[in-house]
Chain A
């Protein structure tokens, strides 16, 4: 037992690693802010294309969505980070993560928004158009607000997935939370920094996961 505590919950080592881990957590937060905004905007644009009546817009959008849902974000990230220099484009780890996450998260958010748009009845669009709103106004003021409200739980759970996913940035040595923790582990030969990183993730994500569970149950009971 003492051995176990020493290996996973070593207070001395955690104290030493704290500054490093806090810096890592700060990078993770910044990264999350950027990639979530990018993913939401990309996903919204893509979902509008995928919901279009014009097949020339719709089919490429679906193709894009399915391709980037099929490729694991990790290989996408490595391909961008390690592959682009071969054609003379050198990107920083941060930019590589942003590009990979934009492609992957847009696809996932697009699917969520699209199902939201589908859930808003045709009558809404027709009524809005009949009152004289333009197609763009109809989308912006009538369809999208309802669509987004309908899929809010899915948006939230995708946000949680993205926050967890930022840990793969450690693979291209971006000094975010997991990278910092793993660095501290390698230096101290002790896994306590990793446990501490897990604790930091939990601090932010556990409440969100609770909310999601509540949401799902609430929805299914009222339906």
Chain B
């Protein structure tokens, strides 16, 4: 194992986030009275990770390091950008909230640690590396959820998240160990050689446990129940971040494991994915319909969107593989902009759906932004969410499998099923009269508002980047 200059370049995003973790923590210790400095440093760190990944992507950098266990390709770099980008918005939002309580440096450090874990995760090619990176991204997130000491829900959500998360990790690890036992190696390339033809029962058990562990992490039903409590308890910025960044990275690594580690076993795992997708979509949407709290609604909505992305995994067969990979990438990017924006709106308006009443009359620009996010989450063109769903449908149509067609049918039904709760917010904002106490605007929201405007613009103009994104992922290196 040798470190060359190229290794450093390939590890640039991870190295940058490591440096900023240390710097932010130290600044927190030695310069106690300056929350602004810490926040700016953390934002700078997230931005630097984003830019470094973007530059590597633009220059077409790719390579394998550490004996092939760590890979830098377009696919990985793209997800690193999603992770760092959403971290940036979380940091910007958190600065306002956490500046009052005095533990801002710790909060920022935790966010940057998740960034480190998630950026590593999308690049590893070895099951145990995957496990370590997942834990590196997950353990700080338990603390993030439980961070708000002033609210009881935060502690409750953190506790639930921790307990279920630990179980999920053990199931995942057990599955990995079984797969290791079958193939005698944890490297994906070696696993691919043993996962061919008729699978042994142990191999199937290992695969099922691996997928169950991932289902927990991705809040796929029936392993989703921690999600609403965790997102409701978490500080808004953390909920926005956790529902996007670690999830996108986990989807990415699952895609890598399945496509690089067990492509021959696709007939075994695509039906599992189809089942998970259908159940997850229905559970997410049906429970979201009942919510009056916007935060919980968005939590269940994130379950539903996990289901839509899993539908792309079910389409990883036949002619649909290339388009399905594209679908996961495009959906993750689309979801990142629209969902982060929707969560940040809670910071500006409130988490009771009634607090959105009459927003169109009191603050029309914000109402327009939230309307854009909601329409995008439904999947209405020209907003970003439409392209995510359209790509899943395209991939499914190419796969040529009856099971996948059933999944697509469920996706169409679920899109319509989701209209009432997303449009409930639009109705409250545009059709209802303002309630009296909703008019008082929280202070120090300039940065959050600016973030919302930027994200709304990104959600609207997503159509312009979808072409380049598609071209980029064709050359993603995963296929």
Q: Specify whether A and B are partners.
A: no
**Which B residues are closer than 8 A to A by beta carbons?**
none
